[in-house]
Amino acid sequence: MRRKRVPAAPLPQREGIDPVRLRLPEDPAGAWPTVGAYLLGRYGAAVGAERIGAMLDAGRFVGADGRAAAASEPYEPGRWLWFHRDLAPEERVPFEVGVVYRDERILVADKPHFLATTPRGRHVTETAVARLRAGLGLPELQPAHRLDRLTAGLVLFVVRPEDRGAYQLLFKERRMRKEYEAVAPYDPGVALPVTVRSRIEKVRGVPAAREVPGEPNAVSRIELVERVGAHARYRLLPETGKTHQLRVHMNALGLPIVDDPLYPVVREDGPEDYRRPLRLLARSLEFTDPVTGGERRFESRLSLSGPWPRGGAA
């Protein structure tokens, strides 16, 4: 049976964030006689019955036709509703998102340290996708992949939804050639270059990933670029894309990346120190464009220059 097409959202984005979409489920037991009863049952415990009631009174839940849904309306399984969440205030990350390249299909951005790529957890409006959507008037912009919040550098975005799958496959099928740069301690006892292969697992809710016994699922090539005092600059070439892969592999070599709050020791949660970014940069992306067939290469305009730890200099 063909699934019904989802209607277009009747509400515009706010600060680059889409409205929440929900479809009223089947109710064979008749537990929800009205729209209000369902919304209270689903969201009341999380945000409070009084808040849900106030949102209904204000007409903040709307149907596909843009008409506000009243609390007393009969429950109708399969009906679509949209609403905007109340977003908590977020501290602004004091760095801008740079645009390296843009055409009708893709946008390559330079994401700064500390800025998440997409909304997640407490980072919603302070994300690269939200800033770019709002700032450039591109409401359908979506990332083709994700770069960790603490890592700076290149992120590939897709302008049109119909093109997203083709560019996502570049990452899924390992046809995207990625190069990173990192600053970490120098150790003459570590023979480089080296290719690290291990199995990495990341448990939801646990900040740090870890290496475990088993078939390798993460592969990284590590090369020395230059030594600067007690530290060095490294070229990192990941063949796979596991969460925190490069950070885990550098730490496993005894070369933890400078100012990493998780490896080797998980730092206590606290206010962001924007003077101490993780010294990891997504330096370049290189690929064969799946739409045009042309060769593409993009390089970040950012650098890891700045105050290095004692004993090193940029």
User: E strands along 123-193, which residues?
Assistant: 142-143, 152-158, 177-185
Residues 91-141: tens digit of each pLDDT: 999 999 999 999 999 999 999 999 999 998 889 999 999 999 999 999 999
Q: What is the pLDDT of residue 2?
A: 53
Q: What are the residues whose beta carbons fall under 8 Å from the beta carbon of 243, sequence distance 6 or more?
A: 148, 200, 202, 209
pLDDT classification of 270: cutoffs 50, 70, 90: confident
Q: What is the pLDDT of residue 309?
A: 40
Q: What is the pLDDT of residue 76?
A: 96
Q: Which residue has the tokens 């940069």?
A: 281
Per-residue pLDDT, averaged over 13-39, amounts to 95
Residues 65-83: tens digit of each pLDDT: 999 999 999 999 999 999 9
pLDDT classification of 4: cutoffs 50, 70, 90: low
| Best CA proximity match to 221, nearest among 206, 235, 201, 202 | 235
Q: Say yes or no to pLDDT of 312 above 60.
A: no
pLDDT classification of 314: cutoffs 50, 70, 90: very low
* Whole-structure pTM value: 0.88
Residues 179-204: tens digit of each pLDDT: 999 999 999 999 999 999 999 999 98
Q: DSSP labels for 34-52?
A: BHHHHHHHHHHHHH-HHHH
Q: What are the residues whose beta carbons fall under 8 Å from the beta carbon of 200, sequence distance 6 or more?
A: 209, 210, 211, 212, 217, 218, 242, 243, 244, 245, 248
Q: What is the pLDDT of residue 311?
A: 33
Peptide bond preceding 193 in cis form (omega within 30 of 0): yes
Q: Say yes or no to pLDDT of 8 above 60.
A: yes
Per-residue pLDDT, averaged over 18-23, amounts to 95
The whole-angstrom separation of Cα 259 and Cα 307 is 11
